[in-house]
Structure 1
Amino acid sequence: MSSYNDLSKYYGDFQFLKEMKTVAFEEILRMKAECKDPDFWNSQVKRGFHTETDDGRDMRVILPNGFRAVSDLLPKTESLEPKELHNLEKGVTDNLSRKEIHFVGFVGTKLDASLSRKDVVNEMIGLDNVLVTELAEIDGMLAYVSGERVKGGDYTNLVLFRDRGVAEELLKSSNHGKAVNALAPEVFSDVHIHSGVLQDGLTSSFFVLRRTIFLCFTVPPEDPRRRRVQMWRACRKESDVVKVLPRPPLPDSLLLGLGSQDGPLVKLDQCFTFDVVRLGSQHHHHLHTVVHRG
C-alpha cells in the first residue's frame, strides 16, 4: 500500500486540527460567558484575536461573519462547567448543540529558510490577510483558525463552514488560486489539504474525512507525485474526469485504527484513491479501492 494511503502517517495532522478546534471553541465559550450580547465581540472577532496554548504556541481565531454566526453552535445552557468541558474531550455532549459543519484543514511544511525567498514569504503573509477579508463576504463561513504546531515552527490552518458550497465559493477567489498555485510551491515543501465533516459541530470528538489532497513541491510539475487526490468515502458523484462507484458502507465498528483509548480521532467508511497525472490537456486516472480495517 502506498504511503499516501496510510492515514496513520498523517495522524499528527488531526491531532493538531483537533487541538485548534478545541482552542477556538473554548475561546468562543469564554466570550459568551463574559458578555451575553452576541454583537459585543464582533469588531474583535472579525479582525481576529490571538491566544496561546499552555506551552506558549500562538493561535489566532477569526470569526469572519461575527459572533452571531456561530451562536447556534454553542451550548444550550449559559455556560459549561469544567466537568462538561472534560466530557467534551471524551465525546460526551448531551448538553451541546450537534449541528453538522464542514471543515478544511491546511497542513504545510515550510521549506528550509535557505531555500525560500523572503519576498515570496512576505507576499504569502499579505495574501493571507486579504483572504481573511474575503472570507467575511462568503455567507456560511464560520471560523478561520491558524496556529503553530511547534513554537516558532510551521503553521496549520483550519477553516469551518456550514456546507460544502461555501468552500466552492472560496475556490473561485483569484487570490486563493494565486496562493495555492503560484506562492505555495515557493514557500512549502509539501502540503496536505484534508476536508470533511464534523458531525456534531464544534463539539465533535472526531473528524469524518472525505478527501485529502497531497501536494509535493519537491518533485517536478510533471511528476505524478506532485499532486495526488484521495477520496476517503465512497460517493455517487460523477464527472467528466472521474467516476467513483459506491459500495455498501462499512459498519461503524470498522474504524481507522487511530486515536486513543477515548475513541477514534478520524473516522471513515470507505477509501478510494485516484492519481491524477497531468500530461498537457489530458488527464489519466488510476482508480484503486482500499479498505482500512483498524
Structure 2
Amino acid sequence: MEKGRIIKALSGFYYVESEGRTVQCRARGNFRKKKITPLVGDIVGFEAENPTDGYILAVADRKSELFRPPIANIDQAILVFSAKEPDFSPLLLDKFLVHTEAAELESVICVSKADLGLEKADPYLSAYEKAGYRVIITSSETEGQVNELLPVLSGRLSVFAGQSGVGKSSILNALKPELKLETAAISKSLNRGKHTTRHVELIHMPDGGFVADTPGFSSLDFRHVETETLSAMYPEMAARINDCKFRGCTHLNEPGCAVKQAVKSGEIPAFRYQSYKQFYEEIANRKRRY
C-alpha cells in the first residue's frame, strides 16, 4: 500500500499526490460503515494499478480538520477580508475567528483590496493585533504587498477562507500567476461576490507549502461551538476568565465579571464583546430548538 496526500476532491474522485505523481482514486465502500469521509489534506494509504484507477484504503489520524470548508491537517487559516467591495465586516471576521479558534488553528488576518481604501477596516485592525492576531494588508494590484504572504505560507498547509468576492483567487493569482484562477466582480446591488471556486484544492506555493483555495461562503453555523466554551474562542476574554468572581461566568449578567470590566475600561473593544453576545444568543437559540 502506497501513501500520499489528497490534494483535490471532485465529483466523487480523490486526487492523491504521491512521490511526484497524482493518482485519481475512489474511496472503498467500507468508509461509509466507519462513517469516515476522506478530506482534502488527508494523508491516505492507497493502491493503484494506473494513474486513473486507484482506491483509498486507509486514512491516517488528523491533527486538525474543518467542516466548512471540508479540509484536514491544516496548519493555519488565512482569513481574507476585503477593505471594500464587499465592505470590511468585523462581525463576520469574528465569526470566522471563533471557528478557527474552535479548530485550534492559528489564524492570520489578510485585508485585501487595500488600493480601494482602508478607512472602513482601519478602526478595527489594531484591536485584532492587540488580541494576538497577525494582520497583513495586501493588494493584488501591488505585487510587493501580496508577496508579504509568501514567508507566512512557506512550508505549511494553509487554508484561504473568507466571504465570496473578497479577492482570494486574485491574491493566489498574484502569488502564483500560472494558476490563472477564475475571478469575478462583485454584485453592486448585493455587495457580495459570485462563487468562483467550486471545489477544495491544494495548490503548491513557490516557496514550499500548500494553500487550499476554497469555495467562498458568507455564513457559518455554530454546530461545533457551545455557549460554555464560546468566550475561550476570544483570546482577550480567555486571558481574563479566571479573574471573574463566579466560576462558569457567562460574561453577560454576573457581578464581578472581569471581562465586562475590561470592556468598560476599553481593554476589550466593545465591537468584540457585542459579537460575543450575538453569537452566544445564536448558540443558545440553537440549543433551545434542538
Q: TM-score range by the shorter chain?
A: under 0.3
TM-score (norm 2): 0.24
TM-score (norm 1): 0.24
Higher relative contact order (CA 8 A, sep 6+): 1
